[in-house]
Amino acid sequence: MPAHALALLAPIRSVLQLWRRSIQARVVIGTLTLSTGLALLAGWVMLRQVTDGVLDSKTDAALSQAAAGFAAAQSRLDSAPDIDLLDVGSALNPLLDVLAPRSDAVDDYGIVALGPASLTGSAEEGGVLEAGLRFDAEASIPQDLLEKVRSTEGSWRAYTTIFPTASDSPTQPGLVVGSQIRVPPSVDQTSGRTYALFYVFPLQEQRETLFVVRGALITTGAVLVLLLGTIAWLVTRQVVTPVRLARSIAERLASGRLEERMHVRGEDDIARLGLSFNQMAGSLQSQIRQLEELSRLQRRFVADVSHELRTPLTTVRMAADVLHEARPSFDGATARSAELLQAELDRFELLLTDLLEISRFDAGAAQLDLGDVDVRQVVSRVVEASAVLAADRGSELTVILPKRPCLAEADARRLDRIVRNLVVNAINYGEGREVEISVASSPEAVAVTVRDHGVGLKPGEETMVFNRFWRADPARARTRGGTGLGLSIAIEDTALHGGRLDAWGRPGVGSVFRVVLPRRAGGEWTQPPLPLEPPDVDGVEAVGAPYARLSGSSEASR
């Protein structure tokens, strides 16, 4: 779209946005539109009535004046048998003297008397005589009115435009009333000769009156519409302002500022809304406080219990070690019990360690021990340490590492724990199939992905896996020895670095877990260096397919 069209669209867009977002704007625009429509309609009706009224009274007066004039003229002709009918002037002049306006009111109306021929008239047959108002009779008297008057008896009228004789004077509206005047047949030897007499009344005064009325109506209408718009704006402001206030306070409450309240004044509906809002905020605040307190107590309880269990556990562990050492001298069942005791104690210790770690996160006591870490080395170490477990499960570990170091400011111990957890999970839930571990870096971030081709994740489980003690299949997980806390600790560790841990999975296809750490702890990145969703999966099982291999810069190891 060209730039000028875009520039034109911009104000339309902002008006539309205002319309969508502001009730006040909608009410004011609606009121303005409706009241403009109403004002136009009312103005039109009133103007019509005033016009009719003004014109009707003038027309009535004009018609009765013309009727009297026509009657006077006819009786004058009837009673003057001596007039020379061929001399239009001598026949009509006395009439005009009678009918013409007085000399001080020449502009009130004009009279045109026509001879029998035409408006322009020929020398003897026709002729035009005028009195009173000066105007161009030929242009001002409508042709059809003239023909009607000539051909029919009775008086006729029409509205017209009066053209002045002087070309620089303005035209004006007018009313023309015309009638035949017959010379009595006994006198008129040629018989049937008629004259036409026209009254022309200017309506300039009425037009000016109507102009004034129209101006007054437009001004009143505009003022009324503006007033209505202003009233609508003021009234809606009274309602909208508290609503906007409530919205901003609700937003602040939502952002965690639980002590925010609305300012309540008066007892009206808005004040009651404010009261209810404040009650709601108060009740939410106390419930949240209660829950926070409860959760704090629970965390405290877990932390205390874990601590308290450590001492007896150490003693039990020492005793169990003694039993384990001495198991060759035991009979079969007792030796087996000593082994079981040792294995369960391992699990118990693992669980306690994880619980204590979680407690530290909850208490906000977890600290990063930052240093420059080459993520490739961390991954290689973890893979090496997991080789036995992988071999045990029959999984092949494939590692894809870039040639150049992938340095990040990180806590090596925590990063090791994150990667180890992901790799061990991939082996545990990978159904003995290949597990691929990839590392890549960008100027902003470093990423590690661990992909397996095992049980995968059902829709929705991508987020649930990070919940504490959540397991897709608790029975199976127990046999694998996990505590259900591994991923929750991993996500806390990642968050501590300002990084992200995400999961992707499809049932039966496999899972991908990706950890992204910023190069500098707490730094930002826009594009993760590795994709989460494998590019080779589109609903078809893709077991064993290489994933995100970095061409030319990778080495694979087992």
Whole-number Å distance between alpha carbons of 490 and 485: 9
* 426/516 with CB nearer ligand ADP: 426
Interface residue with ligand ADP, options 218, 302, 407, 472 (CB under 6 A): 472
Pairing outcome for strands 407-410 and 371-374: antiparallel
Contacts of 329 (CB under 8 A, 6+ apart): none
The correct pick among 101, 484, 523, 531 for binding ligand ADP (CB under 6 A) is 484
The reply on whether position 465 binds ligand ADP by CB under 6 A is yes
Contact residues for 32 (Cβ-Cβ < 8 A; gap 6+): 225, 228, 229, 232
Q: How far is the CB of 409 from ligand ADP (least distance, A)?
A: 26
Q: Which of 434/452 has CB closer to ligand ADP?
A: 452
Site membership for ligand ADP, residue 448 (CB under 6 A): no
Pick the closer one to ligand ADP by CB: 239 or 472: 472
| Residue of the chain from 99, 378, 406, 487 that contacts ligand ADP (CB under 6 A) | 487
Task: Give me the least distance between CB of 541 and ligand ADP, in Å please.
Answer: 15
Is 152 within 8 Å of 166 (Cβ atoms)?
A: no
Cα–Cα nearest to 391, from 432, 450, 452, 449: 432
Which x/- pattern over 372-411 shows residues binding ligand ADP (rule: CB under 6 A)?
----------------------------------------
CB of 423 to ligand ADP, least distance (A): 9
CB 430 within 8 A of CB 464: no
Binding to ligand ADP by residue 58, rule CB under 6 A? Answer: no
Q: Please state, in angstroms and as integers, the Cα–Cα distance from residue 256 to each residue in 250, 263, 283, 285, 290, following that order.
A: 10, 19, 14, 10, 15
Q: How distant is the alpha carbon of residue 268 from its chain centre?
A: 31
Contacts of 362-366 with C-beta under 8 Å, sequence gap 24+, read 362/299, 362/303, 363/299, 363/303, 366/492, 366/496
Which of 243, 210, 236 shows the shortest CA–CA distance to 47? 210
Site for ligand ADP (CB under 6 A): which residue of 229, 274, 402, 486?
Answer: 486
Nearer to ligand ADP by Cβ, of 174 and 456: the residue is 456
Size of the site for ligand ADP (CB under 6 A): 23
Q: Kindly give the pairing relationship between strand 435-441 and strand 397-400.
A: parallel
Interatomic CA distance for residues 547 and 558, integer angstroms = 16
Does residue 179 belong to the site contacting ligand ADP (CB under 6 A)? no
DSSP track, 365-410:
------EEEEHHHHHHHHHHHHHHHHHHHTPPEEEEB-SS--EEEE
Of the candidates 100, 225, 457, 530, which one interacts with ligand ADP according to CB under 6 A?
A: 457
Spatial CA neighbour of 197 closest among 280, 105, 98? 98
Report the residue from 181, 397, 426, 446 that binds ligand ADP according to the rule CB under 6 A.
Answer: 426
Instruction: CB nearer to ligand ADP: give 43 or 454.
Output: 454
Out of 454, 518, 528, 529, which residue is the one contacting ligand ADP (CB under 6 A)? 454
Piece of 57-65, 84-92, 223-231, 425-433 that binds ligand ADP (CB under 6 A): 425-433
The verdict on 471 binding ligand ADP (CB under 6 A) reads: yes
Contacts of 95 (CB under 8 A, 6+ apart): 73, 76, 77, 113, 181, 197
CB nearer to ligand ADP: give 129 or 485: 485
425 near ligand ADP (CB under 6 A): yes
Contact residues toward ligand ADP (CB under 6 A) are 421, 425-426, 429, 452, 454-457, 465, 470-473, 477, 482-488, 511
